[in-house]
Structure 1
Amino acid sequence: MAEPSTKRRRLTTIKDLSEESNNEAISLHDLLGDPLIAECWEFIYLHDVDFLMSHFDEDTRSLVKVHIVHGFWKRDDVNKLLLEQQSSQYKNVTLHTAYMPEMFGTHHSKMLILFRHDDTAQVIIHTANMISKDWTNMTNGVWQSPRLPRLTESHKSSETDMRIGYGQRFKVDLLNYLRAYNTKRPLCKSMVDELDKYDFSAVRGALVASVPGRHDINDDDPSKTRWGWAGVKHALSTVPVEPGQSEIVVQISSIATLGATDTWLKHTLFDSLSSARASSSKPKFKIMFPTPDEIRRSLDGYASGASIHMKIQSAAQTKQLQYMKPMLYHWANDCEEGIIEEGEIRHGGRKRAAPHIKTYIRYNENKSIDWAMLTSANISRQAWGEAANAGQIRIASWEIGVLVWPGLFEDGAKMVATLKKDMPGKEDLEGEEPLVGLRVPYSFPLQKYGDDEVPWVATASYTEPDWMDQMWRD
């Protein structure tokens, strides 16, 4: 069995689920409760400062230097005003407004960078906003780097391995991402300079991120980083995949308005996700998104749906639903109308915890995993970027995620989906190859939408009560 590096990718705890379902899951206090944390940089979309501060160690929370990076640049933005009001209560909290060059973009990344008194640093990339709702009964995921020691002189001279998926390449891409915040003013320059002094050699994973603006996609300079769909395409072009049929399951919490035709979805996003080190057959795509019935039966009922978005009201949105419908699959996999695929039923333990997590996973015909990505990026042109125009990609939002594959952890390794646990067990052993477990939040086999089923739409009204006898009105 391969070494447990993938335990760094974990699900978050769910308040109203059993202890068994929360086996090996991680809480926000697990991430922030260490009294040795000296400084915390938080890059997130939605913030509750009081909630954030409550998860630091109670004896040291007033001493931690907390930096909050947000994207609310309009003076009268309610989110900005609340942030300013809350943070004013804490002398150790500093707010920073991210550079937002695109009007319709958001600061959607979700990342923590921690510096500790023991001279270690850590990067945590996750999918939850810094609000109570996301850390209680919504399914989310976390990727943690190892504790990063400070560089020694011998390490500095050996930082030459620039292969995608390994520590030095990850470091270069992360620092390039962070430097993009300094485009107009030195928002986090001092932090970047400090993080540069740490050793990333133990990191296994490729950074896949989006930075707003226009970017060249044909620049082969190894010191540069590609963003959005161009970044994931470049990373996947180095990843080996098994021959034969495969499918990519795109499990997200939001689907933006993409257009009346499938041009962008298929020829920009899906083509990028289909990249591989060697030529292979085109994968089939499945998109996992909850229906109104699944939201009604979730732990928080209709309230969960406020965080899950797709629109089907306009003519263009109706056409979009038509071309996406054949690809739509359930989250909970237990709806009466859905079409269940063949296979042994295996439960992921999160079907009643509505999804805020975003995962992109390529499964091969042997049911093992070629690669997996945890990210803040949903299906949207703002997140992944428009199609290339004159060799440039245009991106509206900040996003960040991590891509992993079995060969990063051990030569010849096989990655398998594990359910309700992080590590593979005896039941997963088939051959002699080392195994890498990747915990998946949903259940198998997948369940396709029935003919009359449609996605959840937060801007619609639903008169059928949820399990708490509540109705939903936009």
Structure 2
Amino acid sequence: MASLLQPTSFSIRVRTRVNYAKTNVSCLPVHKRDHSSSCFRLPKMSGDRVKIGLLVPLNNGQEEDGMLAKLPVFQGDNVIGRNDLGTTDKRVSRKHISLNAMDDGSVEVVVEGPNPAIVKSGVQRNKLGPKNKTVMVHGDVLELIPGKHCFKYMVVDCDKQTSVSKMSSHDPLEVKEASVERTLSTVKRKWQDPEHEEFVQDEVPNKLSTEAVNKSVTVNSGQSGYKKLKKESASIDSLEAICQFNVQRDKLPLTFRLLQVQGLPEWANTSSVKIRDVIQGNVLFAILSNYMVDLDWLLSACPMLKRISHVLVVHGESGGALDQMSKTKPSSWILHKPPLPISYGTHHSKAMILVYPRGVRIVVHTANLIYVDWNNKTQGLWMQDFPWKDEKDLNKQSAFENDLVEYLEALKWRPLRANLGSLGNANITASFFGRFDYSSATVRLIASIPGYHQGPKLNKWGHMKLKTILKESKFEKEFLGSPLVYQFSSLGSLDDKWMTELSLSMSSGTSDDGIPLGLGKAQIIWPSVEDVRCSLEGYAAGSCIPGPQKNVEKDIMRKYWSRWKADHTGRCRAMPHIKTYTRYNGQSLAWFLLTSANLSKAAWGALQKNCSQIMIRSYELGVLFLPSLIRKQCLGFSCTDDSSSSRDLEKYELPSTSEEGKTKLVTLCWQANESEELSSEIVPLPVPYKLPPEPYTSKDVPWSWDRRYHKPDVYGNVWPH
């Protein structure tokens, strides 16, 4: 496929589209799949290991198949299985073969699954049964199933960073100088041809001058760790706004980060995060909370987890997936599925709680613990470390602590006895997590738990919890009557009454002088059919955007639809699995919520009995960013950085009464205007999509995952396959 080019006013940058594996994704019913997941997986990558070679996919004619992804082979142990191929062929096991690559380029092949494999060297075919071994060298052909799923092994010359393959290669990542002019001509034609517009929606020419770089929002230095923004008149709504999002480690809790996406240009992954960046250091005990959990992938993506003796996995799996987890988990790990007292509910929260000798790390994010979610999707993650309490402060509590402990109590796991090293043995219950000092928390927790909640519990969960916190908060006058945005990846069955109920909660709050902000007009950001068809994964991405046609095409929904546009973060073609809700004016944010909750009554709850009761079906968890939370003291404490300690911390505190003490939440495309005080505290959030959102045109069709689409996607597939 032709490469994509992005010319600037100074140079021509060669950009490419990655060929991902063809997929065969069945359209499974909602109740059997995560509302925000896909069975499509890309080849596992590792930036920390030496690449020895590539497994180059072959077609039936034993020529390179340019539509399938090359699988990297790293020095040491590698495992290849069904998930790496993006296939549903169950003859290929999840752990089909293991490869031990030597530094001389040779590879020991061991068949791990029950079905035989073939290694072909020249005209000799060597059939391997279970646990049989052989050595594979450059040019050999590997057949994972005899005659099927064939790959040619090619050694990589690490010194020259080029393949020694003698095959005719059309790898789009290897663009040669001689073809630049021809490719540029092709791309220019595509820019002018509406039929190809979707291929370059995050690759359009950047016409900004270098002055625009100085106007981007950077978290680095200044009174409280933030660089003050210059007053510039030119627009910074540029493709590469995220490349200036550089966050100092001790300021990370004030914002969130996007997860890394494979196949994007380097600038698009600025300050993005991998799972190894989160789970690190001397973890004594861990809680991993999620809906879908692939332990095979998790342990390979984060091997240090194997060293943690005590791990509680709180999950939403059942059936065969749960059986697989039970077989795969280390013997000391505990699996727990919280009670679901109301039908059609799920445990959907996505969080990690990591206990260290020095404190605890709280992580709230939007990704299932599966390969595709941590590599292919637009996702978000927030985390903050907290120290142990001093003995004299054990009875001191904070709003964050109360919310966290109460949520953990609702999960109802059996008490666990854990050895915490020099700290001794401890019973791990929900109340155990009251031993940490959360006074520096920069967010509020917004959680949902299943049940019928009345009386004092009415305002503790779901959208009523959000309403309660917003009602207690003050906002600048610019947010009077300002719009709301709902962005999510699964759509429930909704009606006008409930949509009004939700918008009333999300419109709560008053201005600084006590005037109610008023009802905000809601806008829904949801991928169109074209967005999905032309995404990094093609139609396969739609399997993690479960919007049933009967819900998507309701008349009441038409007024809400807005396009998924993410040029400034380079994620137009990385379909969203992130869930966010916000109130905004231009590029300023009144508040921002990063959560696991999709737009459904099951997730947010629905009022009953004349608004005296809220009924919630599912577990959800999110973090709410509010300007008022940053006015109090923030500590640069780290559980893994020896340079910080709970006794000697970098501190800052904003004066809460002066104009200079005001805090402002902004997008990455925000810029100061002439009337704004640059002395305000500026907290940039990497909101991945464009604000204000673009409403659907008459040509745009919202994605429904149970419709048929006959126009081929970027891999030539139709939907369903």
Same-fold call, TM > 0.5? yes
Q: Which residue, out of 311, 314, 324, partners 1:66?
A: 311
1:374-385 matched pairs, under 5 angstroms? 374-385=594-605
Alpha-carbon displacement from aligned partner over 1:56-76 (angstroms, at most 9, x marks no partner): 354x62344221112346xxx
The one-letter amino acid of 1:179's match is E
Secondary structure of the 1:468 match is: coil
Report how many residues are paired: 428
Residue 236 (structure 2) aligns with = none
**2:719 counterpart of 1:472:** yes
What's the CA shift for 1:426?
7.9
Residue 179 (structure 1) aligns with = 409
Q: Which residue, out of 259, 262, 268, partners 2:496?
A: 262
**2:461 counterpart of 1:227:** yes
Contact 1:140–1:356, Cα closer than 8 Å, also in 2: yes
d(CA) in 1 for partners of 2:571, 2:675? 24
Contact 1:212–1:395, Cα closer than 8 Å, also in 2: yes
Which region of structure 1 is more displaced relative to structure 2, 354-363 or 323-332? Answer: 323-332
- Indicate how the Cα distance of structure 1 residues 463 and 54 shifts in structure 2: closer, same or farther if over 3 A, else same: same
d(CA) in 1 for partners of 2:407, 2:628? 25
d(CA) in 1 for partners of 2:675, 2:351? 34
**2:557 counterpart of 1:324:** yes
Residue 54 (structure 1) aligns with = 300
1:154-233 matched pairs, under 5 angstroms? 154-156=392-394, 159=396, 168-182=398-412, 186=415, 190-216=428-454, 218-219=455-456, 226-233=460-467
The one-letter amino acid of 1:240's match is K
What's the CA shift for 1:5?
5.0
Contact 2:275–2:302, Cα closer than 8 Å, also in 1: no
**2:314 counterpart of 1:78:** no
Contact 1:49–1:86, Cα closer than 8 Å, also in 2: yes
Q: Which residue, out of 581, 592, 599, partners 1:372?
A: 592
Alpha-carbon displacement from aligned partner over 1:369-394 (angstroms, at most 9, x marks no partner): 10000000011000011123262111
Residue 206 (structure 2) aligns with = none
d(CA) in 2 for partners of 1:389, 1:285? 26
Q: Which residue, out of 276, 283, 289, partners 1:43?
A: 289
Secondary structure of the 1:269 match is: helix
Alpha-carbon displacement from aligned partner over 1:192-250 (angstroms, at most 9, x marks no partner): 2332111111111111000001111x428xxx970011111111112222333311111
What's the CA shift for 1:8?
4.4
Secondary structure of the 1:458 match is: coil
d(CA) in 2 for partners of 1:428, 1:349? 29
The one-letter amino acid of 2:351's match is M
Contact 1:369–1:414, Cα closer than 8 Å, also in 2: yes
Contact 1:348–1:443, Cα closer than 8 Å, also in 2: no
d(CA) in 1 for partners of 2:410, 2:481? 39
Residue 666 (structure 2) aligns with = 416
- Indicate how the Cα distance of structure 1 residues 354 and 428 shifts in structure 2: closer, same or farther if over 3 A, else same: farther
Alpha-carbon displacement from aligned partner over 1:376-434 (angstroms, at most 9, x marks no partner): 00110000111232621111000000101122213411111015xxxx78899942322
Residue 400 (structure 1) aligns with = 621
Residue 241 (structure 1) aligns with = 475
TM-score, scaled relative to structure 2: 0.56
**2:578 counterpart of 1:357:** yes
What's the CA shift for 1:119?
2.6
Residue 136 (structure 1) aligns with = 375
Contact 1:262–1:323, Cα closer than 8 Å, also in 2: yes
d(CA) in 2 for partners of 1:326, 1:7? 34
Contact 2:503–2:520, Cα closer than 8 Å, also in 1: no
Residue 111 (structure 1) aligns with = 351
Contact 1:37–1:64, Cα closer than 8 Å, also in 2: no
- Indicate how the Cα distance of structure 1 residues 41 and 429 shifts in structure 2: closer, same or farther if over 3 A, else same: farther
- Indicate how the Cα distance of structure 1 residues 68 and 28 shifts in structure 2: closer, same or farther if over 3 A, else same: same
- Indicate how the Cα distance of structure 1 residues 39 and 450 shifts in structure 2: closer, same or farther if over 3 A, else same: same
d(CA) in 2 for partners of 1:429, 1:307? 43
Structure 2: 5+ residue runs without aligned partners? Answer: 1-221, 226-250, 418-426, 632-660
**2:538 counterpart of 1:301:** yes
**2:547 counterpart of 1:310:** yes
Relative contact order: is structure 1 or structure 2 higher (C-alpha 8 Å, sep ≥ 6)?
Answer: 1
What's the CA shift for 1:312?
2.1
Alpha-carbon displacement from aligned partner over 1:418-451 (angstroms, at most 9, x marks no partner): 15xxxx7889994232211111101345211112
RMSD: 2.5
Contact 2:595–2:622, Cα closer than 8 Å, also in 1: yes
Structure 1: 5+ residue runs without aligned partners? Answer: 161-167, 334-345
d(CA) in 1 for partners of 2:569, 2:522? 20
d(CA) in 2 for partners of 1:429, 1:144? 34
Contact 1:62–1:92, Cα closer than 8 Å, also in 2: no
d(CA) in 1 for partners of 2:675, 2:359? 36
Secondary structure of the 1:134 match is: helix
d(CA) in 1 for partners of 2:358, 2:270? 30
Residue 76 (structure 2) aligns with = none
Secondary structure of the 1:394 match is: strand
The one-letter amino acid of 1:246's match is S
d(CA) in 2 for partners of 1:306, 1:428? 46
Contact 2:252–2:383, Cα closer than 8 Å, also in 1: no
Select the structure of larger CA radius of gyration.
Answer: 2
TM-score, scaled relative to structure 1: 0.84
Secondary structure of the 1:323 match is: helix
d(CA) in 2 for partners of 1:251, 1:388? 25
What's the CA shift for 1:306?
0.8
- Indicate how the Cα distance of structure 1 residues 281 and 97 shifts in structure 2: closer, same or farther if over 3 A, else same: closer
d(CA) in 2 for partners of 1:425, 1:280? 24
Contact 1:105–1:397, Cα closer than 8 Å, also in 2: yes
d(CA) in 1 for partners of 2:399, 2:597? 21
- Indicate how the Cα distance of structure 1 residues 263 and 378 shifts in structure 2: closer, same or farther if over 3 A, else same: same
Residue 337 (structure 1) aligns with = none
Identity %: 32
Residue 282 (structure 1) aligns with = 519
- Indicate how the Cα distance of structure 1 residues 186 and 154 shifts in structure 2: closer, same or farther if over 3 A, else same: closer
Residue 163 (structure 1) aligns with = none
Contact 1:347–1:444, Cα closer than 8 Å, also in 2: no
Which region of structure 1 is more displaced relative to structure 2, 200-209 or 64-73? Answer: 64-73
Q: Which residue, out of 455, 458, 463, partners 2:705?
A: 458
Contact 1:14–1:138, Cα closer than 8 Å, also in 2: yes
- Indicate how the Cα distance of structure 1 residues 64 and 102 shifts in structure 2: closer, same or farther if over 3 A, else same: same
Alpha-carbon displacement from aligned partner over 1:124-179 (angstroms, at most 9, x marks no partner): 0000000001001100000102x21111024335x25xxxxxxx101101100000
Contact 1:249–1:286, Cα closer than 8 Å, also in 2: yes
d(CA) in 1 for partners of 2:687, 2:704? 25
Residue 165 (structure 1) aligns with = none
d(CA) in 2 for partners of 1:5, 1:413? 16
